[in-house]
Amino acid sequence: MKKTVAASETSSIRPKLGLALGAGAARGMAHLGVIQKLEEAGLEPDVVAGTSIGALVGGMYAAGKLDRLTETVLELDWMHIARYFVEITFPRSGLIEGNKLASLVSEMVGEVELTDLSLPFRAVATNLMTGEEVVIDDGGLVEAIRASIAVPGIFTPARRGEDLLVDGGLVNPVPVSVCRALGAERVIAVDLNYGRVRDRRYRNSEGMEGSAPALSQNSGVGQILDWLQRNTRQFDLALPHPMKAWMERHSLPNVFDVLGNSLGIIESQIASTRLQVDRPDLLIRPNVGDIRFMDFVHAGEMIEEGRRAAGEALAGWSL
C-alpha cells in the first residue's frame, strides 16, 4: 500500500500520527482491514508499533508489503497452515520452532533491517528471564517479528544477544506507549482482545454450551491434527503413547487453545489496565472474539470486520 498524495502533503502540518497494533493471534487479520480503512480516510501513520500478530502486520506495513501479506492470508487453507506452523519435533521450550513461519515472512519481505524502513516501526517482546518489556528498534525485521510472536509454550523463545524473548503481549498488548515514545502526538490503537473473555462461548462435544471448546472438524487445530494423522501414519508404531494421545480428538481444549486462551486472558487484563494509563486518541475494537488461535482461514471475514470497526470508530473523528 502506498501513501496517498493528500496524506503526504499534509504530513508536515498535521499532528504526528502513531498506529499501535495489538496482540491477538489469528484475530490480527482484522488489522489488515483497519489499515485499509485508515488509508481510505487519508490517515496514514508516521510511526507504527506492534505486539505479536500486530508486529507481523505492522512490520509488513512498514516494509510496504501489506498487499503481499493480505494476498497470502486470503489464500491460506488448513494444509498451508499445517505446513507453516507444524514442525514435527519433540517439544523443548515450545511446540513449534518457528523456522517455517520465519521463512514465509522472509519470502514476503526479504532481508530488511528495521533501520532501513522508511516508516519507523517497533516490535514489542518480553524478556523471558527478567519479565521486562523489550522494544526492538534494530536488527532484522524478520527476527523482530519472530521474537514478538513467540507465544510461550507454543513457539520456542527467540534469542537476541544474551536475552531470550517471548510474546510481547505479556507486558504490552496494545503498544500505545511505544508510539508515544516515537514522538506520536496522536495515536490510533487496535485492541483485539476486548470482550473475548466475557462474551466468548464454546460448545462441547454434545453440543451444549460450556467453557471448553470442542475440537471440531472445522476448528483450526482439528484440521491440523487431521493432517498430522494422515502424514505420520507410517511412523505410528514409533510414536510414544503420549504423542498418540495428543493427536486424538477430545472434547477438552487442545494444547494450542489452552495456551492461546490463557495468554489471551492475560493480554485482555493487561490491556484493560494499560489503556487506562496509556490512553490512545482513538481506540478501535473489532468484534473478533470468536476467532480461535489458529483460525487464519477466516482472514476474509476478519478483514471485513476490521474495516467495519474502523469505519465506525472514525465516524466524526479527525486529527
Please list the active-site residues.
52, 167
- The rounded distance, in Å, linking the Cα atoms of 120 and 2 is 15
- For residue 90, give every residue at least 6 positions away whose Cβ sits within 8 Å of its Cβ, in sequence order, or none: none
Spatial contact of 136 and 144, defined as CB atoms under 8 Å apart: yes
The count of other CB atoms within 10 Å of the CB of residue 107 is 11
For strands 47-51 and 121-127, give the pairing. Answer: parallel
226: buried, middle or exposed (CB in 10 Å: 19+, 13-18, 0-12)?
middle
* Residue 7: half-sphere exposure toward Cβ, Cα within 13 Å: 15
* Residues 219, 221, 222, 228, CA torsion sign: positive
